Each structure stands twice: as structure tokens, then as C-alpha cells.
Chains A and B, each alone.
Chain A
Amino acid sequence: MKIFVCVKHVPDSAATIVVRDKNQIDDKITFLLNPYDEYAVTEAVKLKKNLIQNGASSSLGQAQQSNQIEIIAVSLGTSDAEKTVRSAMEMGADRGILIKTDDRHQDSITTAKALKAAIEQDCSNQVACEDQSKEQEPAIIFTGRESIDMGGMQTMFRLGAYFNFPVVNNVVKFAPDVNFSVNRKVIVETLTEGGGRDVYEITLPCIIGAGRGLNTPIYPTFPDVVKARKREIKILTLSDLLKGSESDNKGAKTEIIDLELFAEKRTPKSIKGNASQIAKEIVKILKEEAKVI
């Protein structure tokens, strides 16, 4: 069973973004794993553990099951995106695929086509050279809800359309059905506009867009880092991957003409009074304005 996690190499949200040449950002800043993708990787790892634990009573031993459930992190990005694939592996992905491109900006159409091609290639390669009994399509594909740089929230839907898989985005709760080994269903809960929640029952294969709160990301320890160093990252190139196929990206690419910094105006205000009054005011703001409690 193959669990894919699509990850993106994005600027650190704490970085100072500087626009260069009108339509690019100065990339001499820290880039890292898209924060929403951290939830995706973590959920993939949790799913794998869950399936191994709950499948322990079946004819396969845990070790064998562990080998048969594989998490593969896939990313489209420039060569430094390898660090982000490695981060996903440090968090628990078994191996990684980097689809290399020289152009940092790739739109959701190209990205989804490239991810699909890489995932399909990985599934067919494995089947060809290893075990015919293995599945030829991904069981599940996790992505983040969106990338924090483009914020387009499109790639997972395009990927779903290309694969013809159902897609659920902004997922905040995820669990395999109790009869998963028989019906291959998962139960997911999404956060909707206005704070509502929808619950879906989906049959695999499917695409899950992880939202904030789905889990607490599992950050790697040093032994995890060491372990991940020994694992493989396969490097593909975007041009090779899409060459000659119907997924060739001619005409599909959007272009960034102009980039402007969105500087939200900050309006700090001071809260006055004694400690009790200040505390009350803070609680009121958190409830009524920030709506976080």
C-alpha cells in the first residue's frame, strides 16, 4: 500500500520577503516544508502506524506489514527543495521523490500534472521490478490544505481530477473506518466556512488536504534525522517527466506579471486598567475579535 504525501518548499513565514525584478521574491531566505504539509506528513505516519497496529492479528506479521505500507514524499521544486523532501522523511516518510525544475514558480496545473506523473511512474516502476501483487495506484495521497506562498488551494483538486479520485480539503479529523481492511473506507471531517464541520465517508483511493488542527506535527529527533539520511530521494526532472506525454505543459502555465507585498496595516492599541480589567479585555478580544476562544 502506497501512501503519497505531496510537499512544497516554501519561504519561512517569519522571513522578510523582498520583491526582486518586479515578479520574483529574493530567494536568499529560509525555505522550508510548507506548514500545512507538516500535518499531511504527520497524518500519513499516523495512518501507517494505525494500519500496522490494527492489522497485527492478520496473517502478516507487523514487520512485513510495515514493509508493505510505504509513505513516499513527493515534491516539485528547485534543487534546494530536496531539503524539504528530507524534512518529510525525517518526520517519517520512507522515501522521497523530487521533481526538479529550475523555475521556482510553478502553477497548480503544472504541479498537479507533474505530481501525477511522478506518482504513476513510481507505482508502475515498483510493480514492474518488485512485486506483482502490489497495487498499481496510490492508496491515498495527502497534501496540505494550501501552500503558504501561493495560497491557491487548487493543486489537490487538479490532482484529484487528473487521477479521477475524490478530494476532501481542509480536513481536521481523519480515521480509517473500523472495517478498513474490508471496505477500504476512511472517515474524514472538514472545517467549512463559518466554523461548520462536514463529515465524509470516502473509499480509497482518495486525496486528503490536511488542515490546521488535524494533528500535532511530529517533529524529528536526532535519531530520526540520522535514519532519514540513509533513505533514498529519487531525483526526476520536470522536463523529462512531462516530455511527449499528454501532460506536457505547453500552454498550461500561468505567469506572474507583478508581485506586490501585502502589508497589512497594523493598528496596535494599548489596554489600560488594573490586572483584572486588562485580563477581562484580553479575553473579550480573543472571543469577539480574534474568535479563537
Chain B
Amino acid sequence: MNKKYDAIIIGAGVIGCPIAYELCKMGYKTLNVDKNPDAGEGSTAGSCAIVRAHYSTADGVALAYEGFKYWLDWENYLDNVQDEKGLAKYMNTGSLLLKSEGHDWKKVKKNYDEVGVKYEEWDNEKIKQMVPPVDLHKFWPVTRPEDPKFYDEPTEFLEGGIFCPEGGYMNDPALSAHNIMRAAEAKGGEFMFNAEVVDIRSENNRVVGITLKDGTQIDAPIVVNVGGPHSYKINKMAKGVWEGCNIKTKALRHEVMYCPSPDDYDYLNEGYHISDGDIACYARPEVGNTFLIGSEDPKCDPQEWVDPDEFYAGKGGPGRDNQLTEAQWKAQCYRWAKRIPTLPVPNQPKGVVDLYDCSDDWIPVYDKSDLDGFYMAVGTSGNQYKNAPVVGKMMAGLINACEKEGLDHDKTPFQFKYQYTGRVMNVGFFSRKREINKNSSFSVNG
């Protein structure tokens, strides 16, 4: 006799866990299954866990701003649950977006005004005062160190930046997912690890359960794909689901670098999260007074689309597996070293390589599917960590509306009211059936 649940969530990362948590709070008996050994140990662990509001769409800004409020109120959000590993901590550094040709900052500013995000405009003098080692020359366009133009002397300057005092990062992304798992368990949720899904079973166009690699079958009338970089493989297992998506997902390799801060700059305690479209990098402080330097995916950089199973097994080969490459180490660190000219760049690359579950337009798919009872929170494209608690609540609301209230979400999209900002989100924005959103930045900026 197969075990039965009200809902099975495939994945126990930072989005899978809150979906379970919110469904449990609504009375659903849930099971999360994950092929990793613990919550948040997949691509969540490789996230920079940055909490910032600037997105290319007003809906994106609104979702992120709502998410910020959850991180700020973390213990209450978790209903004061105890976690033997301790609680992840939100570090409110503030977030600086440099005005550059690499970002449509005017659109971001308009979105901030529309949503009501608090911000200040800083001129170069103010930025220099707040970030003393910075060089505010304009280095645009973004190039690679292999290109001689990379070393051209800059002559112009940037035109200031937009600073959001409400922004920062969570200090331990894997732990944050673990915290939410404990909160879900406190509400009755169950979790199964080292469990790989190999089949999504359905009958009469209705999902009925999953089959694990060891042959175990588990039944549920609701299955949610939150498989991160494996999402496309999970969608392909469910009858008609992949074919029914206009927006597809695939796994993109991404490197993030650790570079020590200059000795005379306490970036860890005095620094901000910085988004710098002029050099296509973002950075946030990390322990050991280091810069965590990510890439904003400029056009000149190669994109490595990989098979997630080969990647995590280290079998993808150079440039496709989970080891840093020297070329990208130099590209990202040298770009950042232009902005911080006293930044020492070690010879040995150090950092994190992981995968984005990337959608066609770098905007996620939070939706039902063409198979009844099968839902997906996929295509997070490296930019959804900050939204995870809100997405959990939104997905639970969507699932409940479809399953219990008979909503036809494809015809009449679910409207989700944000708890903190009061804004109403048309969840149809994240539809799998949408056309590619041309307003997207088509990068990690979303």
C-alpha cells in the first residue's frame, strides 16, 4: 500500500520548504522529497542570498519588497520554531545600484516609486564618502580580460547611484531553508531526503503520485515541481507538462568569486550590497572580510548550459562541471578590481559554482500545469532567493484556489494579496503560457 499525502513537493530548497510550510498551515498533509541529504543543500546552498528590490518590472520589485519584510521578521515568520542548527540571520547592509548603461535604472526608479520602495539618490561624492575605495570611472561596455579593450583607460565617470536602505543578504542560505523545514515540520510537514524522483504518475490527466529511484511509490493528488536546476527533467516526467509550457527552463552554470577586501577597508561591517551594471558585477560582504562577486551575465561572457546530474557529479568536464574556471575568475575579479582598484586578486580562484534554473526570459514560472494537480515553482533564474517566503505563500494560495475553490487559473488568474505591502499580485504574470517578457533584463537581475 503506497503512502498517501495531500501534496508532494519535489525539492526541499528555499522555495520548496516554504510551499510546504504554507500548505501545512492551511491543513494540507505534505511531503517534501529531495535527492540531497538535507534541506537547502542543492542550488539554494550556492545562492548569494541577496535581498534587494531592484528588478526590471514593477511586479518584480513588488515581490522582492514584500519578501524583504519576511526576512526582516524571520523569527515570527517561522512562528518562533527551534532549529538545532540555529537560525539564519538577515544582514541589512543596504543596497546600492550604480547608475549605468548596464541597468535600466530609470525604469527601476520608476518601479520603486510605483511600489513605494524607500530609496535615496547618491551622487558620486556621496558614494565615495560611503564606499571609500571605489573608483567611479565609467568602464562601459563590459568586456573580458582576453580583450585588449578591457585595459583601456577610462575617461568618463558614472552618474551616481540609487541606494535602498532596506536590502542586504541572508548569512546562510542553506540554513534558511533548513529553518523553514523545521517550521513546516512543526505544522505537520514531512521531509524525505536522499530520495530521487524518477517518475510522475498520472491517470486520466490527473497526477496521482511519484515513484522514487528505489521503486517506492508515494501517492498524492497534488505534486509541486520545485526541483531547481532539475526542474526541466521533472517537468518532462509529468505527462504533457513540458509540452504545455511556452516558457521552458534549463540549467545554467554560474560562478561566484570570493576575493579579499583591501586591508584598509572593512567591507564586512561597513560595506553595502552593490549592483554594478557598468562592469556587470554584483557584490556583497562575506565572512573573512571578503567580497562575494557575482556576474550579471554580460553578453560577452559564455553561457554554459549543462546537464544538472552531470554537473553535480563533476562529470560535465571543464567549464561544465562544478569547479571554478580561471578565465571566469579573472573576468569577474578583474572587473570588480577596476571598481575597487586596491582589491588584491589572489592567483588561486576561490568561490562557488552552482546552477541557475533558468527560464527563457529569466523570470520564474509560478503556475499550475496542463496536468491537473501538477504545479510548478521553477525558472528562478538565480534571482528568486529573496522572494522565497512570499512565493511559498503565493503558491500555496494558488494551489488551494485551484484545488479547493475550483479556480481555472489559466482563464482567470489567481490574484494574490501581499501581507505587508497590501499590493495585489496577478499571478498570471508568472504563467507558463506567457510570451517571453520583453521587459526582462534577461539576466540574474530578473
Beta-carbon contacts of B238-279 to A below 8 Å, as 1s and 0s?
000000000000000000000010000000000000000000
Please tell me the size bucket of the interface on B.
20 to 34
Closest-CB distance, A26 to chain B (whole angstroms): 9
Partner of B343, one of A28, A35, A83, A221: A221
Taking a contact as CB atoms closer than 8 A, the residue among A30, A33, A221 that contacts B337 in the complex is A221
Minimum CB distance partner of A41 in chain B: B347
Distance (whole angstroms) from the CB of B288 to the closest CB of chain A: 14
The reply on A226 being an interface residue by CB < 8 A is yes
CB distance from A158 to the nearest CB of B (A): 26
Q: Mark A195-221, 1 if CB is under 8 A from B, else 0.
A: 000000000000000000000011111
Say whether A257 faces chain B, with CB atoms less than 8 Å apart: no
Assess the B341–A221 pair: CB atoms within 8 A.
yes
Is the pair B348, A13 in contact by a Cβ cutoff of 8 Å? Answer: yes
Chain A window 6-37, contacts with chain B (Cβ cutoff 8 Å), 1 for yes, 0 for no: 00000011111000000000001111110100
Within 8 A of B (CB), among A254-281: none
Report B-chain residues with C-beta under 8 Å of the C-beta of A15.
Answer: 323
Whole-angstrom CA separation of A92 from B329 in the bound complex:
20
Cβ-based interface call for B318 (8 A): yes
A38 close to B (CB within 8 Å): yes
Q: Of B318, B326, B345, which one neighbours A220 at CB under 8 angstroms?
A: B345
A interface residue count range (under 10 / 10 to 19 / 20 to 34 / 35 or more): 20 to 34
Minimum CB–CB distance from A81 to chain B (whole Å) comes to 13
> A229 within 8 Å of B by Cβ?
yes
Q: Which residues of A contact B347 (CB under 8 A)?
A: 32-33, 38, 87, 219
The answer to whether the Cβ of A123 comes within 8 Å of any Cβ in the partner chain is: no
Nearest-neighbour CB distance to chain B for A260, whole angstroms, equals 19
B262 CB, min distance to chain A CBs, angstroms: 8
Residues of chain B contacted by A14 (CB below 8 angstroms): 323-324, 348-350
Residues of A within 8 A of B406 (CB): none
Point out which of B314, B348, B349 has the most chain A C-beta atoms below 10 A from its C-beta: B348
- For the complex with contacts A30-B325, A38-B347, A223-B341, 13 further pairs of A-B residues with Cβ separation under 8 Å are A13-B348, A14-B323, A31-B326, A87-B347, A218-B344, A219-B260, A219-B344, A219-B346, A221-B337, A221-B344, A222-B345, A225-B345, A229-B151
Q: List 27 A-B contacts (CB under 8 A).
A: A12-B326, A14-B323, A28-B318, A29-B318, A30-B324, A30-B325, A30-B326, A30-B329, A30-B349, A32-B326, A32-B347, A32-B348, A219-B346, A219-B347, A220-B344, A220-B345, A221-B337, A221-B341, A221-B344, A222-B334, A222-B337, A222-B338, A222-B343, A223-B341, A225-B337, A225-B345, A229-B151
Interface residues of B (CB under 8 A from A): 151, 260, 314, 317-318, 321, 323-326, 329, 334, 337-338, 341-350
